[in-house]
Amino acid sequence: MKTLLLSLCLGVTSIGSFLLANDTVSNNSTPKNPIKVVILLGPPGSGKGTQAVRLTKELGIPHISTGDLFRENISQNTDLGKRAKAFMNEGKLVPDELVLDMLFDRVSRSDCAKGYLLDGFPRTLPQAGALNKHLAADTDLIVLNLDVPDSVIVKRAEGRLTCKVCGNVHNRYFSPPEKEGVCDACQGELIQRPDDRTEVVQERLRVYHEQTQPLVEYYKKKGVLKTVDGTKSPDDVFLSLKAGLKSS
Ligand code: AMP
C-alpha cells in the first residue's frame, strides 16, 4: 500500500514539473507552437529590404516593413499617410504613437499567426519596449543586425532605385536593372525615393545613431542578437544571415 501511495505521489510530482517546464503546454494538453519573430536591424540603406525579401521566402513568414506601410498610406492619401509624410521626407522618425497602432494592427492579421519578419521596426527604445510587451513570453525572437559603415550607406543611397509598383530595389552602381528606369521584377517604374537624397540620408544616419543604434546593445543584453557584415555581396550577406538564424 505504502509503495502504491509513493508511486502515485511521484507520478503527480513529475507531471507537475513537466507542466511547469513546458509552458507551451496549454490546459487541454495541446502543445502550442511559439511564433517566430525575426527583427532586421541596421542603418537605413544597409540592405534590410533586399535581405527581408529573401529571408521571408526562406522562412515562409510575411515581411512587415513599417516604411512600406507608411508609403502605402501615403499613396492612398490616408490621414495617417498625410501625418507621416512630412517626417519621412525630412529623414525624421515618425512619432511612436503613429507607428505602434499601425504595426500592431498589421501583425494581428491572420497571415502573421505563425510569425513574421520586421524590417524598420523597432527603431527606438520605447518601440522595442512596446514590442516586448506585445510578444508572448515564449516567442522565438531573433534579431539580425546588418553592420555597414556610414560611408558605404551614403554611396549606396545615391544609386538606389526603388520600384514604384512592387518595392523591388535596384542600384545603378551595384545591381542595375536590365532596362534603365524599369524594374526587372514587374516592369514598374524605378524612382529615387525622396528620403534617398544625400542630405536626407545624412539626417537619417544621424537619427539612426542617436535613436536606433542603442537597440543593438538592448538586444545583445537579451542574448538574441546576431551581427553580420553587411558590406559583402547580397548573396554572401544572405548566407551569413541564414547561418545566424540556424545558430540561434
Ligand atoms: P524605411 O523604409 O524603413 O527606411 O523607412 C522610411 C521612413 O519611414 C523612415 O525614415 C521614417 O521616417 C519612417 N519610419 C519607418 N519605420 C519607422 C519606425 N519604426 N519608427 C519611426 N519612423 C519610421
31 band by pLDDT with thresholds 50, 70 and 90: low
| Pocket test residue of 50, 123, 209 for ligand 1, highest count of atoms within 8 A of CB | 123
CB-CB neighbours of 188 under 10 Å? 16
Whether 27 has a pLDDT exceeding 90, the answer reads: no
Q: What pLDDT shows up at residue 158?
A: 86
Chain centroid to CA 171: how far? 22
Q: Atom 2 of ligand 1 has which residue's CA nearest to it?
A: 67
Q: Which residues contact 80 (CB under 8 A, 6 or more apart)?
A: 70, 73, 98, 102
C-alpha 69 to ligand 1 mean position (Å)? 9
Q: What pLDDT shows up at residue 8?
A: 45
Share of the chain above pLDDT 70, in %: 87
Cα-based distances in Å from 118 to 39, 67, 155, 231: 5, 11, 25, 21
Share of the chain above pLDDT 90, in %: 72
For residue range 107-118, what is the model confidence (pLDDT) as tens digits? 999 999 999 999
Whether 1 has a pLDDT exceeding 70, the answer reads: no
Pocket around ligand 1: residues whose beta carbon is below 6 Å from it?
A: 44, 65-67, 70, 87-88, 91-94, 99, 120-121, 123, 127, 195, 204
Output 27 or 103, whichever has higher pLDDT: 103
Q: What pLDDT shows up at residue 33?
A: 76
| Pocket test residue of 40, 66, 215 for ligand 1, highest count of atoms within 8 A of CB | 66
Q: Where are the domains of the chain?
A: 35-149+211-246
Output 171 or 21, whichever has higher pLDDT: 171
Eight-state DSSP code of residue 119? E
Q: What mean pLDDT do residues 76-105 have?
A: 94
Q: What pLDDT shows up at residue 202?
A: 92
CB-CB neighbours of 110 under 10 Å? 6
Whether 207 has a pLDDT exceeding 50, the answer reads: yes
Q: What pLDDT shows up at residue 89?
A: 87
Ligand 1 atom having least distance to the Cα of 66: 16
Q: What pLDDT shows up at residue 67?
A: 93
Eight-state DSSP code of residue 170? E
Q: Atom 1 of ligand 1 has which residue's CA nearest to it?
A: 67
Among 110, 104, 133, 112, smallest CA distance to 59 is for: 112
Q: How far apart are CA 183 and CA 192, in angstroms?
A: 12
| Pocket test residue of 41, 94, 191 for ligand 1, highest count of atoms within 8 A of CB | 94
Cα-based distances in Å from 72 to 18, 104, 225: 47, 16, 30
Q: How far apart are CA 60 and CA 211, in angstroms?
A: 30
C-alpha 120 to ligand 1 mean position (Å)? 6
Order across the sheet with 160-163: list the strands: 169-171, 160-163, 190-191
Which residues pair with residue 161 across a beta bridge?
170
What pairing do the DSSP bridges indicate for beta strands 140-147 and 36-41? parallel
**Residue positions annotated with a catalytic role:** 48, 123, 160, 193, 204
pTM for this structure? 0.79
CATH of 35-149+211-246, one of 3.60.21.10, 2.10.260.10, 3.40.640.10, 3.40.50.300: 3.40.50.300
C-alpha 12 to ligand 1 mean position (Å)? 52
What is the C-alpha radius of gyration for the chain, rounded to an integer number of angstroms? 22
Q: What mean pLDDT do residues 144-155 have?
A: 95
